[in-house]
Amino acid sequence: MTGGTSGIGLAALKRLQRNSGVQILIGARGKGAGVGKALPLDLERLTSVRRFAAAVEESLGAATIDCLVLNAGMQVGDTSHRTEDGFETTFAVNHLAHYLLLRLLQPSLSVGAIVVITTSNLHDPKTNPIAAPEHVDARKLARGEVELVSPPGPRSGIRAYAASKLCNLLTAQALMTSAFAKEKGVRVIAFNPGFIAGTRLTRHQPLTFKLPYTLIVPVLSVFQRMNTLEGAGKILADLALGEIAPPPGRFYASQVERELTWPDPSDVANDAAAVTKLWRDSAALVGLPVDAEHTLYPA
Ligand SMILES: NC(=O)c1ccc[n+]([C@@H]2O[C@H](COP(=O)([O-])OP(=O)(O)OC[C@H]3O[C@@H](n4cnc5c(N)ncnc54)[C@H](OP(=O)(O)O)[C@@H]3O)[C@@H](O)[C@H]2O)c1
């Protein structure tokens, strides 16, 4: 699991550890949160992702992965930040590093494994009219070019985040429709926890964004029936354990007003050409051969 040291992921881990049969490996920048075995992982560095994947394989020995939870995520205020690999940080952490991790760990997935990728309904212009993704071209996103129409400005950071979350959803679709997933019975779920107070997601945002989020949203959440941290953690844990299974043909698990729903993917996420292009472009960006492992490409 990635993103198990804070927020929704930590809430999920606390539930997962109640299940004595579950052995947990988490990728963490620090020591972890004392739940499961923490292995070093910094998603801002692709070399760290490769080392983490190798360490996971070593820890597994002859065992395989029953569930892979790709939950880590971050936001920044604008698109000026770059990782050591030279990619825009939001795109690199939220999408590209997770894409590489998925590709590297894919051979270690069990038959019937569950893969959960945490996305956000901010990916959808219908639920995010303020700073929706304007495109999902991986090469442009990697360069921080998130706007095609609007001028770059104070919304660029959130637009980059929204685009990265659209990438998460398209990656889930790509894996789900791949021959590999079908043959191996891998279940893929894209999880939208909805808007939740009390996590550290906005920690790198400017004060003008962070203050209303940290002060007003918790108050609003009492009156608005907003999703809660514990509720989202429980759903994430239940999805990971297979205790909540998608209805037939569904893969987008969206928590709305504390209830789990299984809507159709949004129009922007339901684009087969975008699914395949993102998969291929991401492979090229992380240095994987684009035409290798044909079974992993979306059908
Ligand atoms: N909160 C919301 O309203 C909301 C809504 C929709 C979707 N989401 C999604 O939910 C997921 C969890 O977010 P959250 O709200 O729980 O935020 P959070 O409290 O900030 O947790 C984020 C997690 O990601 C990890 N992470 C971030 N950057 C990393 C890096 N470079 N390398 C390794 N780990 C890194 C953090 O580790 P550290 O402890 O080392 O920082 C932490 O464990 C994210 O994917 C987010 O996009 C959140």
69-79 residue pLDDT tens = 999 999 999 99
pLDDT at 214: 78
By percentage, how much of the chain surpasses pLDDT 70? 97
Phi-psi region of 116 (alpha: psi -120 to 50; beta: other; left: phi over 0): beta
Q: What is the mean pLDDT of residues 243-255?
A: 96
How high is the pLDDT of residue 184?
95
Q: What is the mean pLDDT of residues 230-243?
A: 97
Distance 183 CA to ligand 1 centre (A): 32
Q: Which residue has the higher pLDDT, 223 or 60?
A: 60
In the sheet that holds 65-70, the strands lie side by side as 65-70, 109-118, 187-192, 252-256, 259-261
Instruction: Calculate how far, in angstroms, residue 202's C-alpha sits from the geometric centre of ligand 1.
Output: 9
Q: Probe ligand 1: pick from 71, 84, 209, max atoms within 8 Å of CB?
A: 71
In the structure encoding, which two tokens stand for residue 298, read together? 């979306």
* Pocket probe mutation, ligand 1, options 1, 199, 252, 256, max atoms within 8 Å of Cβ: 199
CA distance 21 to 127: 38
Query: Would you place residue 177 in the very low, low, confident or very high pLDDT band (cuts 50, 70, 90)?
Result: very high
Rounded distance from Cα 17 to ligand 1 centre (Å) = 19
Most informative mutation of 29, 49, 224, 254 for ligand 1 (most atoms within 8 A of CB): 29
- In this model, does residue 292 exceed pLDDT 80? no
- Share the mean pLDDT of the chain: 93
Residue 252 pLDDT > 90, yes or no?
A: yes
Average pLDDT over residues 221-250: 92
Pocket of ligand 1 (CB under 6 A): 2-9, 29-30, 41-44, 71-74, 93, 118, 120, 193, 195-196, 199-201
Helices (H), 106-206: 138-142, 156-176, 179-184
Rounded average pLDDT over 98-127: 97
- Distance CA(192)–CA(211), nearest Å, equals 23
Residue 296: its pLDDT value, please?
61
In the predicted model, what is the mean pLDDT of residues 94-114?
Answer: 97
The torsion defined by the Cα of 282, 288, 291 and 296, in degrees rounded to 10, comes to -70
Instruction: Evaluate if residue 14 carries a pLDDT over 70.
Output: yes
d(CA 163, CA 4): 22
Residue 38 has pLDDT above 60, yes or no: yes
pLDDT at 111 over 80: yes
Query: What pLDDT is recorded for position 167?
Result: 98
Does pLDDT of 217 surpass 80? no
How many Cα atoms within 13 Å fall on the side-chain side of residue 53? 20
The pLDDT assigned to 219 comes to 78
Label residue 295 by pLDDT band (50, 70, 90): low
Chain CA centroid to CA 213, Å: 21
Q: Minimum mean pLDDT among 57-66, 212-221, 223-232, 271-280: which range?
A: 212-221
pLDDT in the model for residue 188: 98
Which residue in 147, 93, 137, 141 sits closest to 118, CA to CA? 93
Nearest CA to ligand 1 atom 43: 3
Cα(62) to centroid of ligand 1, in Å? 30
- Of all protein residues, the one whose alpha carbon is nearest to atom 46 of ligand 1 is 73
- Residue 172 has a CB neighbour count (10 Å cut-off) of 25
Cα(214)–Cα(79) distance, integer angstroms: 22
pLDDT band per the 50, 70, 90 thresholds, residue 94:
very high
Give the mean pLDDT of 164-185.
95
Phi first, then psi, for residue 155 (nearest 5°) are: -90, -5
Task: Report the pLDDT value the prediction gives residue 291, as an integer from 0 to 100.
Answer: 61
